[in-house]
Every structure is written in structure tokens, then in C-alpha cells.
Structure 1
Amino acid sequence: MSTTILTPGPLTGTTRESHFGPLRALRLGVRRIGYETKLYFRAGDTVFFTFLFPVVLLGIFSVAFGGLGNVGANPDGSGGISQAAYYLPGMIAAGILLSGVQNLGVDIAMERGDGTLKRLAGTPLPVISYFIGKMGQVLVTSLAQVILLLLLARVAFGVALPTEPAKWLTFVWVYLLGIVTAAVLGIAISRLPRSGKSASAVIIPPLLVLQFISGVYLSFALLPEWLQNIASIFPLKWIAQGMRAALLPDSFASAEAGGSWNLPGVAIALGIWLVVGLVVCRVTFRWIRKDS
């Protein structure tokens, strides 16, 4: 019979599993993905404000601005792309932010506040299994959201999706790097709220502002240079830029800062934020707040 030895460790704040079969920990984590996903879809407000919100906005923007004509059209009105095609990359980027940062940031803060993390700390559940469950839930729900956005754009608004394999390759790596970074940052910022009740008020407003200055709802080129510089510090701007590179015609690259898609810059910026998020999680995450 194997035994589990508990020793002090920074990830739990009180105890850490020094020995737990990695395969068993993985199995527990995979099982928690299903559990976390069920909890996610049972929370109506979470489903609307993280899962359906970008879908609803894509529909509203496509209908409301459809009368303005195509974006990037020639002087005679020909050419360009529809409003739905223009807003699609930004809505996918916003969905990545909401699914990762907002979802996990609020969820984990509430679990800390209502005692869920305290109860988990008293069980044999490895910390890695808990994180696998959270990260897996984000990946599953985010993929479902992306598929829904692409289907809405294609079926309801006739958006012509890319046919070049290189475009889809860009889409895949930007999405994967973006969603992992967003999820890690969500775990990191879950320490900011002082209580579960204040989690939404602390986390959601800054993320909403970030969406407006990062090229999601407004063209990034329309923003003043100083505001572009501020937005460029944060990952959402780079996720949105990478999605535009994947889904928009190459002629739209001239509207980006620097006149190109700058995909190496996208990878570097998101990579830096991923490392920062991992370091913050490693240093600050606790099952139980120190002042609880």
C-alpha cells in the first residue's frame, strides 16, 4: 500500500504532497475537467458573461454596422470585407481573455472566499490535479466558444474563412499560446480580490477597459499613440493582432502598428506574459489565504 507524505510547501500554504503517483494525479486531474466543466455550464451568469458574451457582441456588431458597407472597400465601394469578418478576430481574442483570465480569476477567488480551497487542502487531491481540472475546463469551454463564433460568422453572416493552411497554422498557435497564457494569468490575479464577493468588481472592469483599448471593439489604428503604447504592454492586444493575422486578408496588415502583423512580436509578448504568470502563480498561490 502506498502512502502520501505531507510536508510544508509554498503551493498550498500549509501542506504539499511530496509523494503522489503522477499517473494517479493525472487521472484525478482529467476527472476534474469534467466536474469543472459541468459547474461552469450550470452557472448562468458565468456562461453569459464569459461564454456567450463575445458571440452576442459579434451578432450585434455585424447587424448594427452592416449598413456601413465593407471594411477596406475601394473608393467605388467594391472589395473589402464584411463587418462580421472584420470583428470576428477581435471577438475570438476577447473570448480567450474572458475564458482564461476573467473566468479563472473570479472562480478561484470565490472558491478561496467560500472555503472550497480550504476544504480541498484537507483532502489528498494534489495541487497539480486541481490545476489540470481548471486548465482543462478553460480549454474545453474556450474551444466550444471559438467553434460557435466561427459557425456564426460563416453560417449567419457568410464570412469567408481562410483556405490557406499557413493561416490556420497561425490561428492554432496563437490560440493555444493565448489561451494557456490567459488561464495562467487568471490563476495569478485570483489573489487580488480580498474576498470572493468582491472578485467580480475587482477583476471585470479592468478587463473591460482592456478590451476597448486593445483593438477588440475599436480599430487599434484609431487610438492615440500613447494609448496604443499602453495597450501593447498587455497580452490581449497581441492575441487580437495574431487573430487578425490569421483571419483577415494580408492587405489589412498595413493598418497595424508598424505596418505588419509582427507575428514574432506576438509570440515573444505572449511568451513573456506566460512566464510572468507562471512565476506569480508559483510564488503566490495558496489553498488558504494567509490572513484567513
Structure 2
Amino acid sequence: MSTPTTARTPYVIGLKRGWIEFKHSVMSTDIIGFLFPTLIAVIVILFLRDVDVEGAPVSLGSMSLPSLLGMNLVFGGLAGLAGQIITEREDGTMLRAKSIPGGMTSYVMGASVSSSIFISFSIALILIPGVMLFPGVSFASPTSWLLVVLVTVFSLAATMPIGVVLGSMFTNPRLMGLVMFPIMGMTAISGIFYPITALPGWLQGIAQVFPMYWAGLGMRSALLPDSMAAVEIGGSWRHLETFGVLGIWALIGLVLAPILLRRMVRKESGSAVAERQERSAQRGGPR
């Protein structure tokens, strides 16, 4: 009877750790740093509430709000976990987790739970006032609730393992720019702030490879009138394609993340951490 209990322990610890990390983030300045760019984006699209899009029954601002939620899901899932792993690898947190039986399992579980709650919390903070401020954005029907939940779950499942992969590949927090630039590129071509059908066909094809477009499309399908599908590719919300592509990315991440994470953990040692901290101090210069 002790074996199942022992096997469950890292997951229980991970759940508790994730909840503690989330509460710490909410009480600290972390939430301000995460929400500030999004709040700026919301203010910008408020000025687009009266900007019409040809053939669309709602304004450009109302069209952009659900897309912004999809962007936050992908951005948080990729950059959030990647940044945490890179930073905590350098400061020795990862090494301490490695030294405890089941420590890496509880560490990854805790980071994933914390990020998931944090991202969902930020989505709610934007969505609740957004429904009142943007005409045409509706969250009233059971279908809307179900789609928002499903898109959130699938988007996080598609992006968080990839965030672990990216975090396992870099050792220097300053290299996060290498993670951010591709995400910004995905945002630019994924129809987040303007209908993707306005882009050249080859860019539309590239955008549809990545989760950003599908997360935004899924949120638009949940929160906008059905008639808005007319301005989308193929004139349809394409729910099957949405969950199919996000599911494929989730499978890719779940295959790659354990392999790269194990390889990274094997390389962790006290001397490696000390060397990275010394390089970091040298980059900071004399005080």
C-alpha cells in the first residue's frame, strides 16, 4: 500500500507548491509585470471600439479582445514557464529540486499548476470587464462557457510543455529574447489585432502552423456572434481544426519536454550553478 502513496506524493507536493507560488505571485509585483502589457493593449483596443471592419457586425476593438485572451494563453504558457525554468536553473533552485527524491516531478508540477492558475486568473481579470466594455462580446450562453474552458485547457496543454522545452535549452536569462522574438512574430501574423484574411495567403499558412492563431480563433468563436465567422478563413470557426492543431502541439511538447528536461537535469551540478552565477555577476559589473 505504501508504493501508490509514495508515487502520489510528488504530485501532491507539486499541487501544493503551485498554489503557494500562485499566491506569492499575486501578492508580489509579478502580477503587475505580467498584466501591465495586457492592460496597455486593452486600453489601446478601447479606442478601436468605434472602428468598423468591412463585413463584420462588431467593431475592431470587440474583435480584438477575444484574440487578446488567446494571445495571453500562448504567451503565458510559452514564455512564463520558459522564463521560470531558465531563472531558477541559474539561481540553483533546479539543483535543489534535483537533490530531493521526486523533486523534479513536484517542481515541474508546481510550476505548471502555478502558471495555469496565474494565466487563468489574468484571463478572468480581462474577460469580466471586457464583456461589459466591448459591445458584441458575449459570455452568456453555456456554449460560450464551455468553449472558453476548452480553449484555455487545450491552449495551455499545447504551450506549457513547449515552454519547458525552451526553458531546458537555455542557461542564461538574458537569452529570453530568443524566446520572445518568435512569439512576437507569431502575434504579428496570427490575426490577433486584425483579421488574418487581410494578410497574404502564404503568411496565413505560416500562422496556422502555430498555436497562437488557433487560441485566438477559439476565443473569438466562444465570445463573438456566429456571424463573425464570415471574416475568418473559410468563413467558419473550424472547431475541429482548432482542437486538432492544439492537440498535436500538446503531443509534441509532451514527447520532447521529458527528454530535454532529463538531459538538462543530468548536467546540473553545484559547480555548474556556481559558474553561471559567477558569469552573471561579471555581466552585472562592479558595484
TM-score, normalised on structure 2? 0.83
Q: Which of 121, 131, 146 is residue 144 of structure 1 equivalent to?
A: 121
Q: CA deviation at 1:184?
A: 1.5
1:107 matched to which residue of 2? Answer: 84
How many Å separate the matches in 2 of 1:171 and 1:42? 26
Cα distance between partner residues in 2 of 1:141 and 1:281: 21
Q: Deviations over 1:70-116 (max 9, x none)?
A: 44578xxxxx2244421111110111012211111111011112222
From 127, 130, 145, the equivalent of 1:153 is 130
The CA deviation at 1:29 is 1.0
* Match for residue 198 of structure 2 among 222, 229, 249: 222
Q: Is the 8 A contact 2:73 2:155 kept in 1?
A: yes
Structure 1 residue 173: Cα displacement:
1.0
| 2:249 is aligned with 1:265 | no
Report if the CA contact (8 A) 1:174-1:239 is conserved. Answer: yes
What secondary structure does 2:265 align onto?
A: coil
Cα gap change, 1:135 to 1:48, in 2 (>3 Å): same
Q: Which amino acid letter does the alignment assign opposite residue 22 of structure 1?
A: A
Instruction: Return closer, same or farther for 1:289/1:205 CA change in 2, 3 Å cut-off.
Output: farther
- Alpha-carbon distance in 2 for matches of 1:211, 1:43: 28
- Residue aligning to 2:276: none
Cα pair 1:162 1:168 within 8 Å, conserved: yes
Q: Distance in 1 between matches of 2:91 and 2:173?
A: 7
Maintained 8 Å contact 1:51/1:99: no
2:9 — aligned with what?
A: 24
Deviation at 1:48, TM superposition (A): 4.2
Distance 2:247 2:98 in 1: 31
Deviates more, 1:280-289 or 1:254-263: 280-289
Q: Which moved more, 1:181-190 or 1:49-58?
A: 49-58
Partner residue, 1:126: 103
Give the match for residue 181 of structure 2: 205
CA 56–159 in structure 1, closer or farther in 2 if over 3 Å, else same:
farther
Q: Which residue of 2 aligns with 1:6?
A: none
Question: Shift of the alpha carbon at 1:56?
Answer: 2.6
Q: 1:34-71, CA deviations, whole angstroms, 9 ceiling, x for partnerless residues?
A: 23224534664x534533422331222122x2343x44
Question: Unaligned stretches of 5+ in structure 1?
Answer: 3-17, 75-79
The amino acid across from 1:238 in the alignment is W
Aligned to 2:148: 171
Counterpart for residue 49 of structure 2: 66
Give the secondary structure class of the aligned counterpart of 1:163. coil
Give the match for residue 186 of structure 1.
163
Cross-structure match for 1:56: 40
Q: After the TM superposition, which residues 89-104 of structure 1 pair with which residues of structure 2 at under 5 Å, given as runs?
A: 89-104=66-81
Higher helix fraction: Structure 1 or Structure 2?
2
Q: Matches of 1:203 and 1:95 in 2, distance apart?
A: 15
Matches within 5 A, 1:229-248: 229-248=205-224
Counting matched residue pairs gives 267
Sequence identity of aligned pairs in percent? 26
